[in-house]
Each structure stands twice: as C-alpha cells, then as structure tokens.
Amino acid sequence: MYQDYAVGEHKANKGLRFLNYLIDLVAVIFILAIVLITISFTSEALGLTISEESILFDLFIYVLVVIIYFLIEFVTKGRSLGKLITGTKVVMIDGTEPTTKDYFVRNLCRIIPFDAFTFLGENGWHDKISKTTVVRKRAFEEEMFKNNSIDEIGRTE
C-alpha cells in the first residue's frame, strides 16, 4: 500500500525537473525530426506535397509531440530519457502507478501554451491536471518497499 507522505518527501526538485525537461526536449526534437524527414521523403516519393505553412501541419506537429511524449512515458512506465538519466519517475500524487489514461492526459496537457513556465510555481499544469508528480525513483521505491514490508508483519494471508 502506498503512502501519500512518501511522494512529497521524495518529490523531484525543480532543478531535476528542469534537467528532465531539457533532456526530453532534445530527445523529442530528435525523434520528431526523424519522423518528419521520413514523412518528407515518403511524400516526395509518392508525389505528395506538404505545406509547412498550413494550420493542419502545425496541428500535426502538436499531435506528434503528444504521441511521442505519451509513448515514451507509457512504454517506460513513467521514465523518459531525462528521467532515466536523473533517476526520477512519474507517479500519481498518491504514489500509485499512472494508468494509460493518466499518461495520456499528462502528455496532452503539454500542448497547453506556456505549460513549461507553470513550473515556476509549485507544480506544472500537466502534473496538476493529471494528478501526477515526479519523484526520485530509488528513494521513493525504497520507502515503498520498507512500508510494504512493515505492513506485511503479522499477516497470515
């Protein structure tokens, strides 16, 4: 059983969150560039033209960014490249693991204008709206293991 206090105690600080953001931004831009180059070559081979000045193209980019962030966090269970490097991970504010929907909502919120600046406060909008937070993985999991072990003492089931 997870404990609410463990999340706050092991919450990643703003420095780690900013480093996660920078690393993830570079990784997502790299993946996005590969996808766009692939689409460009494919469309040229098929004789299609893509107007980069269209609103649909901009919308397509936003959708791709959300999908990329979502897939990375979903597949890695809350560990993007930045989080892997900094030793952090995404959890629900009650300490439980996010569901597919939670990861999707979290990453959909990233396209809200100025979301990145909302971390100048306590939490960013994509955390508040999705009810998630980022914790220092090792310390958080050690605390959870310790608490779970204590809870198991005396159980006969």
Q: What is the pLDDT of residues 110-127, one digit of tens each?
A: 888 888 788 777 778 889
Which residue type, as a one-letter code, is found at position 37? I
Instruction: Assess if residue 104 is contained within a domain.
Output: yes
The token pair at 31 is 């993946």
Q: Which domain, by its residues, includes 49?
A: 4-152
Instruction: Assess if residue 55 is contained within a domain.
Output: yes
Instruction: Assess if residue 21 is contained within a domain.
Output: yes
Instruction: Assess if residue 58 is contained within a domain.
Output: yes
pLDDT category at 86 given cuts 50, 70, 90 is very high
Helices (H), 46-124: 55-75, 81-86, 100-108
How many residues make up the chain in this entry? 157
Instruction: Assess if residue 124 is contained within a domain.
Output: yes
pLDDT category at 53 given cuts 50, 70, 90 is confident
Domain count across the chain: 1
Instruction: Assess if residue 88 is contained within a domain.
Output: yes
Q: CA 83 to CA 6: how far, in whole Å?
A: 18
Residue 1's pLDDT is 41
Q: CA 127 to CA 105: how far, in whole Å?
A: 9
Instruction: Assess if residue 78 is contained within a domain.
Output: yes
Instruction: Assess if residue 157 is contained within a domain.
Output: no
Higher pLDDT, 45 or 96: 96
